[in-house]
Amino acid sequence: MRRSQLFLPTLKETPAEAQIVSHRLMMRAGMVRQTSAGIYAWLPMGFRVLKKIEQIVREEQDRSGAQEVLMPTIQPADLWRQSGRYDDYGKEMLRIKDRHDRDMLFGPTNEEMITEIFKAYVKSYRDLPKNLYHIQWKFRDEVRPRFGVMRGREFLMKDAYSFDLDYPSSRHAYNKMFVAYLKTFARMGLKAIPMQADTGPIGGDLSHEFIILADTGESQVFCHKDYVDFDVSGQPIDFDDVAGVQKVVERWTSLYAATDEKHDTAAFEKIPAEKRVTARGIEVGHIFHFGTKYSEPLGAKVTGPNGDIVTVLMGSYGIGVSRLVGGLIEASHDEAGIIWPEAVSPWGVGVVNLKVGDGECDKVSGDLYAKLGNAGREPLYDDRDERAGSKLADMDLIGLPWQVIVGPRGLKSGVVEVKNRRTGEKQELSPEAALNRLTA
Ligand code: ATP
Ligand code: MG
C-alpha cells in the first residue's frame, strides 16, 4: 500500500476525550471513528488489525475442533423469554420492535439461539460432542461506554458453545477451550493469565477470565507472581488427548489467580508476600461451564446410549476481538506510539522515502516496496512529499514492527537503514541486505 493513497487520517493533537493511552493512540493513528457513544466505524488501519486478530482467533478455534457458523445480530425476544433472561438482562439489552410489533433484540450474546439451533437437529448422543462458534457483533447498552473500543456498546466477540453428553466430556470441552485461549493470546504476543471468575448473567459453576495485566484495566485481580513468567507458547497440543489437555489446565490453575469477585483473602495470604501480585487487568476472554442452564429450559435433549433421554451439558466461551485491539496497544506502546506484535501488525514493514523526487531515493524505495510486496511482507510505502521528520514520527506512531529508511545521504555510501520499532535498534545495510534481513 502506498501511503499517498491510503486513507489513514492521523492526528497531531491528542483528542481530549481519550482517557487512556490505547484510545489516544487509536484516535491519533486514525484507526477508528466514533459514530455514537461506544459505537465505532473501523478505518483501514484499524480494520486490518481487527481482521488479523479475528483470523488468529479463528485458526485456534478451528484447531481445537470447534466449527464456525454465523448467527444473526437480531434475535426474537421469545427465545429469551424461554430461558428467563429477557427480563433479567435489564437495560443492557437493546430492545427493538419490528413493523408487525414483534419484540426483537440486538444480541448481547447467543446462548439461547445456539441452543435452539442445536435442538432442532441433534437428537442422538452419536452426534456429540459439538462445539460451534461465531465471530459476530454484539450490542450491550453499557452504562458507561469508555476507553474507546475497550468498552464499547457495539463490539466484536468470538463466542463458542459446547454440547456434551456427560460431565467428563463436557469438562474436556471446557479444558480444550482453556488451552486454545492460551495459544490464541500467546500468538498475539500477549500474556493473558486465566483467573477464577464470577459467572455473572451467563450463569454456571465453573469459569475463568483471561486477563492481561495493565494499570488501565477495569478489573481488580490477584495472582501468584510466577504466572507472570509462565511460558505460554509450549508444545503443540493434541486436543483429543484428554489427559494431556487436562495437564495443561492443571498447570495453569495450580497457583492462585482470581478476579475481585472470587478473591479469597485467606488463600491469597498463604502465598509468600513477595509472590503476591495485586494488579489491574483487562478481561480479554471469559469461559463458562454451566451444565443444563440453557439446555433445560430450551429442551435440548438427546437419546443416550441406553435409550434414555439426556439433557445436554453446555459451556460458552467468549473472546473480545475488538477489545483486543485496545488491549494489545495498552500492552505494547511507548512515547512515540504503538508497537505492534508481528502477528497482528496492519502492515509488516514501513518503507520511508526521505526525499521523494530524488531519482535514486525513488528508485531504491520503489524497488524495496515492490520486492517486499512480492515476498508477502505487506509493506506500507510512505511516498508522500513531506518533511522527513514528520514522516518518521508518523511511522513510529503507527507502530509497524520494521522500518526501512531510504535517504540521499545513506545512498551515497550505498546503504539504507533498517529499524526495529520495538528495540529502536538501527542497522545500515545495502538495499539487497536489507531485503534479505526483512524477508528471512
Ligand atoms: P466486562 O466484565 O468487561 O463487562 P463481561 O464479563 O460482561 O465483560 P462476557 O459476557 O464475558 O463480558 O463477554 C466475553 C468477552 O467479550 C469479554 O471477555 C470481553 O473481552 C468482551 N466484552 C464484553 N463486553 C465488552 C464491551 N462492552 N466492549 C468490548 N468488549 C467487550
Ligand atoms: Mg466476562
**Which amino acid would we find at residue 399?**
G
> Where is 353: in which H helix or E strand?
strand 349-353
In the chain, pLDDT over 70 holds for what percent of residues?
A: 100
The residue whose C-alpha atom lies closest to atom 1 belonging to ligand 1 is 283
The overall average pLDDT reported for the chain is 96
Question: What is the position in ligand 1's atom list of the atom closest to the CA of 218?
Answer: 3
Question: Cα of 72 to ligand 1 centre, how many Å?
Answer: 19
Q: Do residues 9 and 42 touch, judged by C-beta distance below 8 A? A: no
Nearest to 161 by CA among 55, 312, 320, 8: 312
Question: What is the position in ligand 1's atom list of the atom closest to the CA of 320?
Answer: 20
Residue 149 burial (10 A CB sphere; 0-12, 13-18, 19+): buried
pLDDT in tens, 283-317: 999 999 999 999 999 999 999 999 999 999 999 99
* Per-residue pLDDT, 113: 98
* Per-residue pLDDT, 31: 98
Ligand nearest 151 Cα, by number?
1
Crossing angle of helices 242-253 and 167-187, rounded to 10° = 60
Question: Does residue 235 or residue 382 have the better pLDDT?
Answer: 382
Query: In the numeric block, which cell numbers belong to residue 177?
Result: 477451550
Mean pLDDT for 218-242 is 89
Q: Do residues 271 and 224 touch, judged by C-beta distance below 8 A? A: yes
Ligand nearest 285 Cα, by number?
1
Q: How far apart are CA 311 and CA 166, in angstroms?
A: 9
Question: Does residue 287 or residue 12 have the better pLDDT?
Answer: 287
Residues of the chain by 3-state class (helix, strand, coil), percent to 5: 40, 30, 35
pLDDT in tens, 100-142: 999 999 999 999 999 999 999 999 999 999 999 999 999 999 9
Q: How far apart are CA 28 and CA 157, in angstroms?
A: 25
pLDDT at 400 over 90: yes
pLDDT in tens, 108-118: 999 999 999 99
Residue 430 pLDDT grade (very low, low, confident, very high; cuts 50, 70, 90): very high
**Which amino acid would we find at residue 93?**
M
The residue whose C-alpha atom lies closest to atom 19 belonging to ligand 1 is 320
Question: Cα of 285 to ligand 2 centre, how many Å?
Answer: 7
pLDDT at 12 over 90: no
Q: Please identify which residue in the block is written with the cell numbers 502477528.
A: 343
Residue 235 pLDDT grade (very low, low, confident, very high; cuts 50, 70, 90): confident
Question: What is the position in ligand 1's atom list of the atom closest to the CA of 151?
Answer: 28
Q: Do residues 181 and 194 touch, judged by C-beta distance below 8 A? A: yes
pTM score of the predicted model:
0.96
Ligand nearest 89 Cα, by number?
1
- Site to substitute for ligand 1 among 94, 110, 184, 283, most atoms within 8 A of C-beta: 283
Nearest to 338 by CA among 261, 298, 398, 412: 398
**Which amino acid would we find at residue 350?**
G
pLDDT in tens, 15-43: 888 899 999 999 999 999 999 999 999 99
**213, β-bridge pairs:** 281
Residue spans of beta strands (DSSP E) within 354-440: 379-382, 402-406, 416-420, 426-429
Question: Cα of 209 to ligand 2 centre, how many Å?
Answer: 7
In the chain, pLDDT over 90 holds for what percent of residues?
A: 94
pLDDT in tens, 160-178: 999 999 999 999 999 999 9
* Per-residue pLDDT, 231: 80
pLDDT at 406 over 80: yes
Q: How far apart are CA 136 and CA 71, in angstroms?
A: 8
Would residue 219 be called left, alpha or beta, if left means φ above 0 and alpha means ψ between -120 and 50 degrees?
Answer: beta
Cβ neighbours around 55 below 10 Å, total: 13
Name the DSSP letter for residue 343. G
Residue 232 pLDDT grade (very low, low, confident, very high; cuts 50, 70, 90): confident
pLDDT in tens, 71-99: 999 999 999 999 999 999 999 999 999 99
pLDDT in tens, 39-61: 999 999 999 999 999 999 999 99
* Per-residue pLDDT, 233: 67
Question: Cα of 321 to ligand 1 centre, how many Å?
Answer: 10
* Per-residue pLDDT, 234: 64
Residues having CB closer than 6 A to ligand 1 are: 109, 140, 142, 151-152, 155, 157, 200, 202, 283-286, 318, 320, 322-323
Nearest to 349 by CA among 397, 408, 420: 420
